[in-house]
Amino acid sequence: MESMLTLLWPEIALFITTCVVMILGQSKFKDTRDLCPGLAAIGLIVSGFLAWYFRGVTSDAVLPHLPYYGKLVICGVGLMLLMLVAGSADRELEADAAKGKPFEPIRSTRGEFYSFVLFSLTGLMLCTSANDLILLFLALELTSLPTYVMVSISTNRNRSMEAGVKYFFLGALGAAIFLYGFAMIYGGTGTTNFEDISRTVAAQAAGGGINPLVILGVVLSLVGLGFKIASVPMHFYTPDVYQGSSSSVAGFLAFVPKAAGFFAILSICGLVGWSHGVTEQSLPEGPRVLLWVVAALTMTLGNVLAIMQRSVKRILAYSSIAHSGYMLVGVIAGPGPSGADFERNGIAAVLFYLVSYGVMTIGAFAVLACLEKKRSDGSLDEVDDIDDLRGLARTRPVLGWTMVLSSMGLLGLPPLLGFLGKLPLFTAGIGAKEIILVLVLGINSAIAAYYYLRLAYTCFIESPETTPNAPKVVEAPFAARRWAGVISMLCVVGLAVFGSWLGNLAEIGATYRPPKYVQPAAAVVPVSAPTP
């Protein structure tokens, strides 16, 4: 219990920060309200320091070092997300207050918005620390529930509220499915503790076979968690929700729920025994076949449907679906044989790719968040059509090159970060003898080149829009969003140079402790003394 409390200090620090931010956001003084994003950033930095300071404390789950890696990543990417969402709340209200109108706290959502951001990141951290099915469920819901509200209030248009409603009801369906799966795992093992579940499953496997109720529970859990990672068949909400929410919030959705889903999937798969490739000790056949089919369909549908889009948000939404399929290849490959290096460790490949994908997709959404269309009546609307990006590298070089490098990184073009992230997925899949799935991954990477190169071509090669009646594209007055794009661009190039450091950290986070069955000692039968 004491070690678990020590493990949760980063979450405790972030929760305290969240409560303070919520209160400061209601102040009638603008200088006090402006402290919210800065205080939130300080809270993330403190939380990251605590995760590093207590790095020697491990979880008793099957991935004991996952909290250390996951929390450092969450704090780093979370700082970029804070910059990305700058100005998403109370923009009109603050503008009216600057003109001398009285501030109305009841209309203010700044404190709540930044609190929701921190609550969601706290839930994501808890997903890495969870050592119990109940705690994992609560962590997943703490990650998701704030995002439903964030989508609804991200803009003042009806489409955001519509997207929020869709997201909420489909999220409730996904939660019901994986919670039912958790209940079946409990029914088949008699416990909710991860360590006890893994031991019970190992004992069942040694005794003739894993309880079918456990297998069914794992399958249902993986299907429900597919909503978090936007995998087939739980992907339908993704393009509508991304397009209906603001670009900043869409960038938040692209990383946080997906990371939570993959942390949970890695934990659930580890409970039922996990080895490298198709062996007697690999994932049970039911979960493995399910993940195989879902991975192939998710990659293919995501990339094919992205080709048909003109909305940049929808392109990135379907891209997000495809990337979930890529990472599932690493999940199927598993931790590799004992002593496997990074290139053959599927778990390390997934953890590394999560960071790569998060950094690159934040850059793409930061470009959209920095641009607005100013109509003839003076109203502003977000940039979304691909034609709005024409010639961006000429008119606004920083934003244009950010989109070009982010697109090429997401494609996996060497020597950028995306290439270093995707390569271990190939090698882990080949090492696991999943040759057909690796071929599907390669073909889909080629298909994705069409729309990623299209984005880069539009920004870099095409001439700027010159139609007289076209809305004028202007930059949003939020420097933090621009800095989020710049940092993302630097990471796409810089982390490719220092990728070995991040890879070593991912390998530590992927340390797998397989469940072991200890044969009980044979009972000693006393022998009676011979009769004299």
Q: What is the pLDDT of residues 248-265, one digit of tens each?
A: 999 999 999 999 999 999
Least confident stretch, 95-99, 380-384, 526-530: 526-530
pLDDT value at position 173? 93
> For 15-26, what is the HEC assignment?
HHHHHHHHHHCC
For residue 385 the two structure tokens come to 């059509």
Radius of gyration of the chain (CA): 24
Q: How far apart are CA 144 and CA 137, in angstroms?
A: 11
Q: Where along the chain do its domains lie?
A: 276-514
What is the arrangement of strands in the sheet containing 472-475, beginning at the earlier edge strand? Answer: 380-382, 371-374, 472-475
The residue ranking higher by pLDDT, 531 or 463, is 463
pLDDT at 352 over 70: yes
Q: What is the dihedral of CA 309, 312, 313, 317, to 10 degrees?
A: 60
Give SS3 for 453. helix
H or E element that contains 58: none
pLDDT at 281 over 70: no
Q: Using the 8-state DSSP alphabet, how is residue 526 labeled?
A: P
Task: Please report which confidence band the pLDDT of residue 74 belongs to, taking 50, 70 and 90 as the band edges.
Answer: very high
Nearest of 235, 226, 485 to residue 368 by alpha carbon: 485
Residue with tokens 């968690």: 225
Q: How far apart are CA 448 and CA 326, in angstroms?
A: 12
pLDDT value at position 25? 84
Q: How far apart are CA 335 and CA 128, in angstroms?
A: 17
pTM (2 d.p.)? 0.93
What contacts 201, CB < 8 A, 6 or more positions away?
189, 210, 211, 214, 271, 272, 273, 515
pLDDT at 523 over 60: no
Q: What is the pLDDT of residues 143-197, one digit of tens each?
A: 999 999 999 988 888 888 999 999 999 999 999 999 999 999 999 999 999 989 9
Task: Please report which confidence band the pLDDT of residue 300 belongs to, taking 50, 70 and 90 as the band edges.
Answer: very high
Residues of the chain with pLDDT > 90: what percent? 57
Mean pLDDT calculated for residue range 276-282: 47
pLDDT value at position 38? 92
pLDDT value at position 278? 44
Q: How far apart are CA 247 and CA 239, in angstroms?
A: 12
pLDDT value at position 275? 55
pLDDT value at position 136? 95
Q: What is the pLDDT of residues 14-50, one digit of tens each?
A: 999 999 999 988 887 778 888 888 999 999 999 999 9
Mean pLDDT calculated for residue range 313-338: 90
pLDDT value at position 339? 58
Q: What is the pLDDT of residues 428-470, one digit of tens each?
A: 999 888 899 999 999 999 999 999 999 999 998 887 766 666 6
Q: How far apart are CA 40 and CA 33, in angstroms?
A: 12
Residues of the chain with pLDDT > 70: what percent? 90
Q: Residue 525, class by beta-carbon neighbours within 10 Å (0-12 exposed, 13-18 middle, 19+ buried)?
A: exposed
pLDDT value at position 525? 44
Mean pLDDT calculated for residue range 279-307: 86
Is beta strand 371-374 parallel, antiparallel or unpaired with respect to 380-382?
A: antiparallel
Residue with tokens 């056949």: 285
